[in-house]
Structures are given as C-alpha cells and as structure tokens.
C-alpha cells in the first residue's frame, strides 16, 4: 500500500514538473502552459475499487452505445435504414458467410454511419475476422488449461508458479517497475508526439486499428530499455480512438498513469522550432536522431485511401518534415508499400535513439516487404504451381 501511494505521488509530481513548468531550449528556458488533461471524463474509474475496472468500463461503454442507438432509432429515417441494413446483412450472411455471429450496438452505430455498401461489407468482414481470431485463440488455450488443471491435482509439482525455490514476481510488481521507468523518462528523456487529430479522415475499422497501434506503441515504449516521454496530442476524448483505448486500459485517464494525453495541439505544448514531422512524403531524409528535437508521428491508418494528409498539415503549419531512409538503406521488393504501422515507427525511433545505428533500428521493418523474402516467396509459389501442373498433366496422360 505504501509503495503504491508513493508511486502515485512521484508520478503526479513528474507530470506536473514536465508539463507545467520548465522546458529547456538551447540554454534558455520557456514557461509552457499546463497541458495535462484535466477534463473529468464520465467513465473514469476510481482507484482501489472492489469491481474489476476493465469490466466496469466495458459495461459503461456498452450502456452508452445502447442509449445512443436507441436514441438514433427514434428517427423514422434511421429506423428505415436500420431495417434495410438488417436484410442486407442476412443476405451477406448466406452468400459470403463473412458476417459476425453477434452484431453489437457499437457495430450498428458504425454501420449506420456508413454511406456505401462496400464500407458496410468491409466492416462486417473485419468484425468477422476478429471473431474468428478470438475463437481460434480460445481453441489453442483450451489444451493448455486442461494440462494446467491436471497438473494442479498433483500436490508435488515443481515448476514456475508452483512449488519453487525462487521468489515469485507478480504482475503488479512488474507494472510498478515499468511505470517507474516511464516516470523517470517523463523527467529526463526527450519527447515523441503522436498526432491524434486524423480521426475524421479514417473509416471506423481504420480508427479501431489506429487505437490498437497506439496501444502497441505505448507498450513498446514501456518495455524498451531506454523509453521516451510519450505524448498523445490533438486527442478527441469522446472519439472512437480514445474510447477503444479506454476500454483496453481503464486507468488511462487516472492522474498517476504515465502517459501524457491532451486535447491541445503540439504547437501549444512545444517550441515550434524544435518540431519535426515524420512523413514519408517529405524530400528531406533523416540521418540521425537529435535528442534536442521533438519528433511527431501522424496517428493515421489509411489503408483504403492513402493520401498525403500529414504532409499537407505539416506544410500548412510551417513545421519541418523528414522521412526515414527506407529506400536508401533497404532493398524493397516489387509491389511493397513503404508504409509502416505506428508501433514500428516508434520502435525504429527508440532503437535509433539508443544505438544511433540505422541497420539495427530498421530491423523492425517486416521482412516480408524486402526483396530477398519476396523473391523466395515467389519462387516457392512457382514451385508449388509447377507441382500442381505436373500432377494434372500426369493424370490426363493416364486417361
């Protein structure tokens, strides 16, 4: 109890120091405004509660989505669209079979916002894949659970989490350890910013994918040997991205959570001269990591309609732009897109900051995009097709 309270106090003090007081810029100091998110969210969970905060937050959001849907269906126009989409979904269920078994209130809110049949079909297919992935994960864990249950029946089992001579390190201890490292990074390490202001330009499934990538980015920074001070700027607290993050991390709005989330722009938080926007559409190639600069990563997932939105935004705001030396350092395969998820971009920056070696940093680029792997995959496909053709020809010659 004492350690938990002291950690909360240190974390709050670190946020107050790093956000409200002093930022050093070229041997001079600028006083910045207090930029920690102070808005009281409706679904913020309190510490030391008896109910699991994850279940409580999920239940609250489900109630919120149900109320929104019932309020929306009071309009006769939306009611007619709702009945029309129900028939369309039943047709897709029997024709393509790529429709989730359960369509939640949240799914209906996203479907009613869609304007084309292709958007609805792609969203239902996305939800179907997520459902199948969860079912397959459950099937894989069932044998492990049966094995653990059978092992628990034997009282003399020696191993991890059973009879052992080693001290057990609990998850809460590991969380406090990682959080303490993030607190130190908030005080002493440079900042990296995620620009979360692209939510209107993304489809619903892209927004959910963006939330997942932001979660993986926070996790990658949390477990890295040399973490940085991470910021989520231009965050819409009532938007889909922050709602999905809140469902996964119920403590994200707690004052002692080691993450800076603000609705303000990075222009109001940092010195404009120190900002560097990372965009693949820039002509300037990044050569090394400069700890005196603040690098901005556009939190956007644009798989369906890729556009140079981040380039246009940075140019309009007068911010310098750079890009990773992907083409100069790696041999890309034909047809490989040079777009990377947000968590891989952050991992590259973290390793570059720690080692200042591009070869080590760019190991986070998926191997399937590189020339050697794509050529090997193409050769395997051709060999497989050749075997199939030989089988067909041999069966034809017999007749």
- pLDDT averaged over every residue in the chain: 81
Mean pLDDT of 252-271: 90
- Region 297-301: mean pLDDT is 92
**Residue 195 above 60 pLDDT?**
yes
Could you give the CA distance from residue 37 to residue 31 in angstroms, rounded to a whole number?
A: 18
| The two structure tokens encoding residue 123 | 């969203």
Amino acid 241: pLDDT: 92
pLDDT band of 345, cuts 50, 70, 90: very high
Task: Say yes or no to pLDDT of 162 above 80.
Answer: no
Question: Which pLDDT does position 43 carry in this prediction?
Answer: 45
- Name the nearest CA neighbour of 276 among 306, 310, 302: 310
Instruction: Give the residue-averaged pLDDT of 246-271.
Output: 90
Percent with pLDDT over 70 in the chain: 80
User: Does 51 have pLDDT greater than 90?
Assistant: no
Instruction: Write b or e for each residue in 196-234: b if 16 or more Cβ atoms lie within 10 A of its Cβ, otherwise e.
Output: bbbbeebbbbbbbbbbbbbbbbbebbbebeebbbbbbbb
Backbone torsions φ then ψ of 268, nearest 5 degrees: -85, -10
Residue at token pair 């179907």? 128
**Is residue 271 among the annotated active site residues?**
no
Mean pLDDT of 146-151: 63
Question: Tell me, what's the pLDDT at 319?
Answer: 94
Q: Which of the following is catalytic: 195, 256, 302, 351?
A: 302
Residue 330, helix vs strand vs coil? coil
For 265-273, what is the mean pLDDT? 92
pLDDT at res. 42: 42
- Convert the pLDDT of each residue in 20-44 to its tens digit: 544 443 333 333 333 333 344 444 4
Q: Is the pLDDT of residue 81 over 60?
A: yes
Q: List helix spans (H) across the chain.
A: 2-20, 53-72, 76-95, 105-113, 117-152, 171-188, 204-223, 240-248, 266-269, 309-317, 326-329, 342-355, 358-361, 371-398
pLDDT value, residue 372:
74
- Specify the residue for token string 């003399």: 156
Sign of CA dihedral 330, 333, 334, 339: negative
Rounded CA-CA distance 292/279 in Å is 19
User: Residue 329 corresponds to which tokens in the numbers above?
Assistant: 């350092």
Percent pLDDT > 90 in the chain is 32
């Amino acid at each position: 109890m004492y350690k938990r309270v002291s950690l909360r106090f240190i974390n709050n003090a670190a946020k107050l120091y790093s956000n409200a007081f002093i930022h050093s810029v070229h041997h001079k100091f600028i006083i910045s405004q207090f930029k920690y998110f102070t808005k009281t969210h409706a679904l913020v969970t309190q510490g030391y509660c008896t109910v699991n905060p994850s279940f409580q937050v999920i239940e609250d959001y489900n109630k919120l989505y149900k109320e929104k849907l019932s309020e929306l269906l009071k309009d006769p126009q939306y009611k007619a669209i709702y009945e029309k989409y129900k028939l369309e979904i039943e047709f897709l269920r029997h024709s393509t079979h790529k429709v989730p078994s359960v369509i939640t209130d949240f799914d209906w809110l996203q479907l009613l916002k869609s304007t084309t049949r292709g958007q609805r079909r792609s969203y239902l297919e996305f939800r179907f894949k997520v459902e199948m992935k969860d079912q397959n994960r459950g099937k894989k864990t069932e044998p492990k659970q049966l094995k653990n249950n059978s092992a628990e029946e034997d009282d003399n089992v020696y191993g991890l989490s059973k009879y052992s001579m080693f001290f057990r390190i609990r998850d809460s201890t590991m969380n406090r350890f990682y959080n303490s490292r993030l607190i130190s990074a908030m005080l002493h390490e440079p900042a990296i910013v995620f620009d979360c202001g692209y939510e209107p330009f993304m489809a619903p499934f892209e927004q959910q994918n963006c939330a997942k990538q932001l979660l993986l980015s926070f996790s990658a920074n949390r477990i890295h040997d040399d973490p940085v001070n991470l910021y989520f700027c231009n965050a819409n607290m009532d938007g889909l991205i922050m709602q999905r993050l809140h469902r996964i991390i119920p403590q994200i709005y707690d004052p002692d959570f080691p993450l800076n989330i603000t609705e303000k722009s990075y222009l109001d938080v940092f010195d404009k001269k120190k900002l560097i926007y990372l965009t693949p559409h820039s002509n300037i190639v990044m050569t090394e990591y400069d700890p005196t600069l603040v690098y901005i990563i556009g939190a956007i997932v644009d798989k369906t309609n890729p556009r140079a939105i981040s380039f246009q935004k940075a140019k309009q705001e007068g911010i310098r732009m750079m890009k990773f030396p992907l083409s100069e350092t790696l041999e890309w395969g034909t047809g490989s897109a040079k777009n990377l998820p947000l968590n891989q971009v952050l991992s590259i920056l973290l390793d570059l900051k720690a080692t200042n070696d591009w070869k080590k940093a760019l190991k986070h680029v998926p191997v399937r995009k590189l020339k050697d792997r794509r050529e090997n995959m193409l050769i395997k496909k051709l060999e497989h097709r050749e075997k199939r053709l030989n089988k067909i020809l041999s069966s034809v010659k017999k007749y």
